[in-house]
Amino acid sequence: MKGRVLIVAGSDSGGGAGIQADIKTVSAFGGFAMTAITAVTAQNTCGVSAIAYLSPGMVADQMRAVLEDIGADVIKLGMLGNAEIMEAVCDTLARYSSIRCVIDPVMVATSGARLMTEDGEAAFRRLYAHCFMLTPNLPELEVLSGHSLSTSQEMREAASEVMKSQDIAWILAKGGHLPGEDVIDILLSKQHERQFRDRKIDTLHTHGTGCTLASAIAVCLAQGEEVERAVERGRAYVRHAILQAPPFGKGSARPMNHMHQNEG
Radius of gyration of the chain (CA): 17
Among residues 211, 212, 234, 249, which one is catalytic? 211
Give the C-alpha separation, 81 to 105, whole Å.
Answer: 10
Residue 101 annotated to the active site: no
In 3D space, the residue among 59, 213, 56 whose CA is nearest the CA of residue 134 turns out to be 213
245 contacts 254 by C-beta, under 8 angstroms: yes
Give the C-alpha separation, 15 to 146, whole Å.
Answer: 32
Residue 206 annotated to the active site: yes
Among residues 16, 120, 210, 234, which one is catalytic? 210
131 contacts 101 by C-beta, under 8 angstroms: yes
* Torsion-angle region of 249 (φ positive above 0: left; ψ -120 to 50: alpha; else: beta): left
The pair phi, psi for residue 110, each rounded to 5°, is: -55, -35
Among residues 174, 175, 220, 249, which one is catalytic? 174
Give the C-alpha separation, 86 to 124, whole Å.
Answer: 6
Say which residues have a Cβ less than 8 Å from residue 149's Cβ, sequence separation at least 6.
138, 141, 142, 155, 158
Among residues 206, 212, 234, 249, which one is catalytic? 206
Among residues 38, 117, 135, 209, which one is catalytic? 209
Among residues 15, 81, 208, 249, which one is catalytic? 208
Residue 210 annotated to the active site: yes
232 contacts 221 by C-beta, under 8 angstroms: no
In 3D space, the residue among 175, 90, 160 whose CA is nearest the CA of residue 130 turns out to be 90
Q: DSSP for 33-96, please give it.
A: EEEEEEEEEEEETTEEEEEEEPPHHHHHHHHHHHHHHT--SEEEE----SHHHHHHHHHHHGGG
Q: Which residues are catalytic?
A: 174, 206, 208-211
